[in-house]
Structures are given as structure tokens and as C-alpha cells.
Amino acid sequence: MKVHLCPGCCKAVMQLKASDDKFYDYEINTNPPEAHRCQLNLQEGMRRKNEALALLERTNKGLTETLRNIAAKISLSYGEVSADEVRTYLMSNQMPVPESRMGTIFRGRHWEFTGMRKRSSWPRNHAREIKIWRWVGPPLP
């Protein structure tokens, strides 16, 4: 038997192995339906994401600007940049990698999504797809 808990706290899913050696899912409601908080619609999910990223930007503007400048310089040198290249730069210069801030780098009007994605090479990212960006802002000093 395997049990998976919904991150929103409203149900558990049990997988039971039957006599035919197949697993079957059984949902167990742990709260009444009106307390169902784990399923957000896309609009609410995006609102929460943008709210969190904006809070990160406000709490340490200097760090965010430093990361953006590094990314912009990489983009100007190579034509494009992703979070992986920023991580590589930080690590090669013995700088800490602020994982929680990586999502704030490419926000704003000076960044353009190239339409391309790649698999992240960082093991912690489990090969998830990341976007490739281009700096379209003013020249850097």
C-alpha cells in the first residue's frame, strides 16, 4: 500500500495492490469539500507566483540587480542566456547561488523570451525545461 497526501491538505490517495498485481487508487477525503484548497485555477496560481516574485524583488533589490547585470552581460556576449549560465558564472566566481532569487532575474521589460527552451543541466533541477532569454535593454556600463 502506498499513500500520497495532496499538498493542499484535503485528500489522501491510497494505492492498493490487488490480487492481479495491479495498483488501484482510492481517494480518501480528509476535509469536507468546501475546505478544498489544493486545486487552484491558472489565474490564481499565476497571481500567487507573481506576488511571491515581486516580494523577493523588493526584499533585496541590490542582489536582484546584480543577478540581472550578470545575466545581461552573458546575453550580450553570447546572444542569449538562461538561469543555468547565471549559476555557472556565480559558482565559477565563488559567489553563492541564491536559489530563491533565480526566478526574479528575467522579469521586466528589458528581457525577451527567445521562444526556445532547454533542459537544465543542474542536477537539482531534475532536467526540467528552462527558458532561454535575450537582453533587449539599454547598453550596460
Q: Residue 51's pLDDT is what?
A: 85
**Percentage of residues in the chain having pLDDT higher than 90:** 39
Domain that holds residue 26: 2-35
Q: Are residues 26 and 74 in the same domain?
A: no
Residue 140's pLDDT band (boundaries 50, 70, 90)? Answer: confident
Has residue 44 been placed in a domain? no
Q: Are residues 27 and 72 in the same domain?
A: no
Has residue 45 been placed in a domain? no
Residue pLDDT, tens place only, 63-99: 989 999 999 999 999 999 999 999 999 999 999 888 8
Q: Are residues 70 and 112 in the same domain?
A: yes
Average pLDDT estimate for 11-38: 54
Has residue 41 been placed in a domain? no
Q: Decide if pLDDT at 37 tops 60.
A: no
H runs (alpha helix) in the chain? 42-59, 61-78, 83-92
Has residue 52 been placed in a domain? no
Q: Are residues 19 and 67 in the same domain?
A: no
Q: Which three cell numbers stand for residue 83?
A: 538561469
Counted domains in the chain: 2
CA separation for the pair 71, 75 (Å, rounded): 6
Asked whether 74 and 81 are in contact (CB, 8 A), the reply is yes
Residue pLDDT, tens place only, 97-130: 888 888 889 998 999 999 999 999 988 888 899 9
Maximum Cα–Cα distance across the chain: 70
